Chain A
Amino acid sequence: MVQSHISTLKQLFQQEFSKMVAVISNLFGLQHIEIAEDIVSETFLAATESWAKKGIPENPAAWLYVVAKQKTLYHFRRNKIYEKKVIPELSLRQDNVAQPGEPDFSLGNIRDSQLQMMFAVCNPAIASEAQMGLALRILCGFGIEEIAAAFLTGKETINKRLFRAKEKLRSEKISMEMPPENELTGRLDNVLHIIYLLFNEGYYSRTQDRILRKELCVEAMRLGFMLCEDVRTNLPKTNALLALMCFHASRFDARLTNEESPVLYEDQDELLWDQELINRGLHFLELSASGEEISSYHLEARIAYWHCIKEDTPDKWQEILQLYNQLLCINYSPGAALNRTFALYKADGKKVALAEAEKLGLEGNHFFHLLLGELYDGMDNRKALANLRKAYDLAQNQDEKLVIEKKIALIV
């Protein structure tokens, strides 16, 4: 009981953190983002103390907004600096504010502020790793400890990264506003890319913490949904990215039923696939099919869709192969090259795929040797074994080594 109480509070704070920081930052300007963070943290502290005594109020979010409003106003009046620094800016920025220094926690302003914050944080001026950290902190309300765990690094490192990222916000004079219309799709690409990276960080995470991994995926999807709710950012590629995330996320539980190690695709129980999410993915996939642009998200979403159909048919693999062909033309990656070759094997057989695999030039990549091991199996067992052993030596973790060991045992 106590545990669930804490987890809901944690969820509430996490959700409200990003909203409140966005709204207050919008008021003070992005260069004072730390003040917004401090005010929100103080508000949570006040909530925890008050609610422990009096119980959780009926509308906890409204309670938080009232207190945050008071604290903001107090902060505003107490510090003479703001009269000099912020008020001149304010008069330029918001002339419709009822009272100077009063944050507007209306639904519309929360949404606008969050969207503007997304574009500010996902500004190409900030280095990508810092950007992910800043996104997790400011857009998703993650604690420093959680961010450190997600990146398998120390709190100190994350603090430094966030500090540098915020410095960058200031030095680059990044402001909270929607990019002008002619820059919007280009800037949206950055936002989508960060969401994509956040999702992948959760889905293919290096960390073993399952709850954290799932939360990363859920947060990435939440940010994607937010973009779909605004007509300016609800573009076909946004829908395509959401479709991609829905399809992948549908297999989240099936992949991780085993506590020890990820469950391989072939061994997954498709009854554990989340049909609801697959349907949502299909909905977004349909929405994405308009306009001229075929983004890599479109192609990856369609590949992910095919993987939601467990049954192997020649058509399935031909389609997947063609999608990888297209994907590689716009966006080469070693992973896509390996997957393309695997699809070629499934579609046209081992011989064709082997000839192609040998051209990839990915020696030293353990998935490459794993693929060669699989392709040579039954064609040239000596080479199959040599490649599997190489893959074993190169594999990064115990789970992967275990899978390779099993394959070796089957050939020997």
Chain B
Amino acid sequence: MKDFALIFRQPSYDYSNASPQEMQDLTKKWQDWIGSIAAQGKLKGNPVRLVQEGKVLKAGGVVTDGPFVEIRERLGSLIIVKAADLDEATTLAHGCPALDANGSVEIRQVFS
């Protein structure tokens, strides 16, 4: 078993207008998906969840605030999974809710 990082990116989305029901459905999707990986005993550690707001530091000391309008896909969060190989890790990434939001999942092995 090796460790792989699943890194989620998705387009910036303003959730402030989302209805409570929408938010609840979205939370359920994520929790069910991560719960599914955890139920297979393949989740390592707790998911790293990132707050929406942040800053970006660029060369020359330029600091920009979020939202990161210029970034098509913002980094959402990441989890570490245990899998035999890259193919299995990729299989685990299927069903990730980021994909429903036109986002992507990057799968990268973690150096052990």
CA distance A340 to B35 in the complex (A): 8
- The 10 residue pairs across chains A and B that have the minimum distance between CB atoms: A325-B35, A328-B38, A337-B39, A325-B31, A332-B41, A329-B38, A340-B39, A359-B40, A328-B39, A322-B31
Which residues on A sit within 8 Å (CB–CB) of B39? 324, 328, 332, 336-337, 340-341, 356, 359-360
B89 within 8 A of A: no
CA distance A332 to B82 in the complex (A): 13
Q: Which of A309-364 contact B (CB under 8 A)?
A: 318, 321-322, 324-326, 328-330, 332, 334, 336-337, 340-341, 344, 356, 359-361
Chain B: how many interface residues by the 8 Å CB criterion? 13
Chain A residue, CB-CB nearest to B79: A329
CA distance A23 to B38 in the complex (A): 46
Q: Is the CB of B36 within 8 A of A359?
A: yes
Q: Which of B20-59 contact A (CB under 8 A)?
A: 28, 31-32, 34-36, 38-41, 43, 46-47
Q: Is the interface of B mostly helix, strand, loop or mixed?
A: helix
Q: Tell me, rounded to whole Å, the shortest Cβ–Cβ distance linking B92 to chain A.
A: 9
Bitwise, A160-193 to B at CB < 8 A (1) or not (0) is 0000000000000000000000000000000000
Residues of B within 8 A of A (CB): 28, 31-32, 34-36, 38-41, 43, 46-47
Q: Is the CB of A329 within 8 A of B34?
A: yes
Chain B residue, CB-CB nearest to A332: B41
Q: Is the CB of A325 within 8 A of B40?
A: no
- 11 extra interchain contacts, Cβ-Cβ under 8 A, other than A330-B46, A336-B39, A337-B38? A318-B28, A325-B32, A325-B34, A325-B38, A326-B31, A332-B38, A332-B39, A332-B43, A337-B39, A344-B32, A360-B40
* 7 A-B residue pairings within 8 Å (CB atoms): A322-B31, A332-B39, A334-B41, A340-B35, A340-B39, A361-B40, A361-B41
Q: Is the CB of B35 within 8 A of A321?
A: yes
Which residues on A sit within 8 Å (CB–CB) of B43? 328-329, 332
Residues of A within 8 A of B (CB): 318, 321-322, 324-326, 328-330, 332, 334, 336-337, 340-341, 344, 356, 359-361
Chain A residue, CB-CB nearest to B91: A359
Chain B residue, CB-CB nearest to A337: B39
Q: Is the CB of B36 within 8 A of A356?
A: yes
Which residues on B sit within 8 Å (CB–CB) of A328? 35, 38-39, 43
Chain B residue, CB-CB nearest to A324: B35
CA distance A332 to B38 in the complex (A): 7
Which residues on A sit within 8 Å (CB–CB) of B38? 325, 328-329, 332, 337
Q: Tell me, rounded to whole Å, the shortest Cβ–Cβ distance linking A261 to chain B.
A: 29
CA distance A194 to B34 in the complex (A): 29
CA distance A324 to B28 in the complex (A): 12
Chain A residue, CB-CB nearest to B33: A325
Which residues on B sit within 8 Å (CB–CB) of A324? 35, 39
CA distance A307 to B36 in the complex (A): 22
